């Protein structure tokens, strides 16, 4: 057995476990986190929507999360798919554990909603906020965007303090910012989350991201930024969701000279095809 340095011995005593055991815990958490998110190589199928997403953690386990939720198959909520992207404060093991609890709270909330409301409501977020308050440590919170997309193009959503997704439509763009505060920071929210609604038409594109994408920096300390992302998406809106994802993330990497990630990065692209 390799002899530990004094610093390693002190850390082992503080943690109450050997360092190799801590590494094993990280591996288990990272594996768990991958299991609760979609396989990025899987082709998502719902109505006439082309969808693709992926997360890149800055460490072995990260604080970003996204999912395409089969509302029809899992919850018997017909003609809808759930879209979620979230970002826990910080990154690493603590943020990954918060994401796990968020995933549980979201699915429990949707299950409750499927019996009583059948549609996205502010009550779902009130319940999730209370659950996240019990899960989060001091100064921990989570931002998220959750929407239920219907086959006919109607998207009802709530934005809880998350960077506003962008809906690219013919001749205009919309920021989806209806909602309220982040989850887990305040047990009693001063105001209920607002529910927003938009209509997607043929060739409209919805782009969702975490701040790790927008805040990627170059050697001069300049951030990649929201406007750069929007301009690139507009210039390449003829592409499918997967190709558009790769174009954007390649540009983010080139902008930051492919240095190591300072924060987790997640991007989700949804394009409506078919008829108007």
Question: What's the mean pLDDT in 81-88?
Answer: 96
Question: What's the mean pLDDT in 11-23?
Answer: 53
Partners of residue 5 on adjacent β-strands? none
- Look at strands 154-160 and 142-150 and give their pairing: antiparallel
Among candidates 84, 77, 75, 65, which has minimal Cα distance to 157? Answer: 84
Percent of the chain with pLDDT over 70: 82
Q: Is the pLDDT of residue 66 over 80?
A: yes
Among candidates 142, 147, 185, which has minimal Cα distance to 162? Answer: 142
User: What is the predicted pLDDT for the residue at 31?
Assistant: 56
Other C-beta atoms closer than 10 Å to the C-beta of 93 total 18
User: What predicted TM-score, i.e. pTM, was given to this entire model?
Assistant: 0.86
Asked if residue 64 lies in contact with residue 55, where contact means CB atoms within 8 angstroms, the answer is yes
In order of their start, the domains of the chain are 37-272 (3.60.40.10)
User: What is the predicted pLDDT for the residue at 123?
Assistant: 85
Asked if residue 193 lies in contact with residue 147, where contact means CB atoms within 8 angstroms, the answer is no
């Amino acid at each position: 057995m390799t002899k530990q340095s004094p610093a390693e011995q002190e850390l082992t005593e503080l943690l109450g476990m050997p360092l190799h055991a801590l590494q094993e815990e990280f591996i288990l958490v990272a594996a768990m986190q991958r299991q609760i998110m979609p396989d990025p190589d899987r082709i998502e199928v719902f109505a006439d929507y082309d969808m693709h997403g992926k997360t890149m953690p800055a460490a072995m386990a990260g604080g970003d999360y996204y999912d395409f939720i089969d509302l029809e198959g899992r919850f018997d909520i017909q003609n809808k798919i759930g879209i979620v992207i979230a970002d826990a404060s910080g990154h690493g093991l603590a943020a990954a554990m918060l994401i796990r609890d968020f995933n549980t709270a979201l699915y429990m909330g949707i299950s409750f909603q499927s019996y009583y409301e059948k549609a996205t409501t502010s009550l779902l977020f009130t319940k999730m906020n209370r659950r996240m308050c019990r899960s989060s440590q001091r100064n921990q919170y989570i931002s998220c965007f959750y929407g239920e997309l219907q086959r006919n193009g109607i998207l009802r959503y709530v934005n809880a303090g998350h960077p506003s997704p962008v809906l690219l439509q013919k001749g205009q763009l919309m920021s989806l910012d209806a909602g309220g505060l982040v989850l887990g920071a305040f047990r009693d929210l001063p105001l209920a989350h607002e529910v927003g609604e938009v209509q997607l038409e043929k060739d409209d594109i919805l782009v969702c991201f975490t701040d790790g994408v927008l805040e990627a920096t170059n050697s001069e300390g300049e951030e990649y930024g929201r406007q750069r992302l929007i301009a690139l998406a507009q210039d390449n809106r003829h592409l499918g969701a997967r190709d558009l994802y790769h174009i954007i993330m390649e540009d983010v990497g080139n902008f930051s000279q492919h240095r190591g990630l300072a924060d987790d990065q997640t991007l989700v692209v949804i394009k409506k095809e078919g008829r108007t």
